[in-house]
Amino acid sequence: MKAMILAAGRGTRVQPLTDTLAKPMLPILGIPVMELIILRLKANGFKDIVINTSYLSETIEDYFKNGEELGVNISYSFEGNINNGIREGKAVGSAAGMKKIQIETSFFDDTFLVICGDAIIDADLEQAIKLHKMRGGIASILLKKVPKSSVWKYGVVELSTSSKVVSFQEKPDINDARSNLVNTGIYIFEPEVLSYIPDTGDYDIGSDLFPKLVQNNIAIYGLNLPFQWIDIGTLNDYYNANLMALNNKINDISFVKNKLHLDFVKHNISTHNANLNQFKATKAG
């Protein structure tokens, strides 16, 4: 199966940490968040992965290269300009990034997954794909229920009784939110969805593509599956994620004797050295 990791954003809410490092490369006890995502994808049968990059793209591409060390095939789609060998990133939006990849490489040839590169998850993605195909929509979104007091931080999704998406609200006021189900940035698409994305210009999945599909009465389903979702959208979120790792509160990941043990990597349990000095510097900041 094929997957796309969204990694072109600037990560302004976690500055200054992202002044020299792309947000998906922020470490959880020494391991980049994106590495945890890639290993999760691999464990769920995704071997061909494309990553859209832009801001500080080299910090991602130089680290993962072609993915061979992780047992996957990784390719990249840079968004921006290259002048005299110097990259100038200019992200085009998540949906436009998908379309750019398809125009250039025809990568998406069957049901595929798109996931944001800045969260830790333990979702059963194989089960999510099965549910998506069973319902028969052109797209599905993995959702998470959050406290009503937190809806203002996320994209809120309203569902019908049949789990079809009815409306979207981007970071609504608490009193205006139509539900407390939020977009986790994990999507399943059929290739046909690409025909609804313009060939040029900026275009986003959440604010442009999905509202257009709903307006045209094209079925999108919400998948409200039980799974752990740890967002690192803010400095406080990132700090708490590292604390959770230290205290063994992240599912399938255990921190023992200065090493981070990843239990979810099927057939190949991986153990990494944790960079405690880097964590302490983050904590002190």
Could you tell me the CA-to-CA distances from 238 to 32, 118, 230, 259 in Å, in that order?
12, 10, 9, 19
Residue type for position 119 = A
* Residue extents of the structural domains in the chain: 123-227
Supply the DSSP symbol for 113.
E
List, for residues 183-206, the tens digit of each pLDDT value: 999 999 999 999 999 999 999 999
Averaged over 49-58, what is the pLDDT? 96
pLDDT at 257: 59
Residue type for position 218 = I
* Structure tokens, 47: 């071997």
- The model's pTM is 0.88
* Structure tokens, 266: 């099927």
C-alpha–C-alpha distance, residues 151 and 222, integer Å: 17
List, for residues 148-179, the tens digit of each pLDDT value: 998 898 899 999 999 999 998 888 999 999 99
Residue with tokens 């300009």: 81
Task: Please give the order of strands across the beta sheet that includes 270-273.
Answer: 253-256, 259-262, 270-273
pLDDT at 279: 31
Cβ atoms of 211 and 95 closer than 8 Å: no
In degrees and rounded to multiples of 5, residue 249 shows phi and psi of -110, 10
Per the rule left: phi > 0, alpha: psi between -120 and 50, beta: everything else, 258 is left
C-alpha–C-alpha distance, residues 157 and 213, integer Å: 14
Cβ atoms of 71 and 152 closer than 8 Å: no
List, for residues 238-251, the tens digit of each pLDDT value: 999 999 988 889 88
Residue with tokens 């125009």: 103
Q: Where are the beta strands (DSSP E) in the chain?
A: 2-7, 27-28, 31-32, 48-53, 73-78, 80-83, 86-89, 112-116, 119-121, 139-145, 155-159, 165-170, 181-189, 220-223, 229-231, 253-256, 259-262, 270-273
Indicate whether 68 pLDDT > 70.
Answer: yes
Pairing of strands 119-121, 229-231: antiparallel
C-alpha–C-alpha distance, residues 169 and 257, integer Å: 44
Helix (H) or strand (E) holding 75: strand 73-78
Among candidates 14, 64, 56, 75, which has minimal Cα distance to 231?
14
C-alpha–C-alpha distance, residues 233 and 140, integer Å: 22
Cβ atoms of 182 and 151 closer than 8 Å: yes
List, for residues 14-28, the tens digit of each pLDDT value: 889 889 999 999 999
Indicate whether 281 pLDDT > 80.
Answer: no
C-alpha–C-alpha distance, residues 98 and 116, integer Å: 13
Which superfamily does CATH assign the domain made up of 123-227 to?
Answer: Spore Coat Polysaccharide Biosynthesis Protein SpsA; Chain A (3.90.550.10)
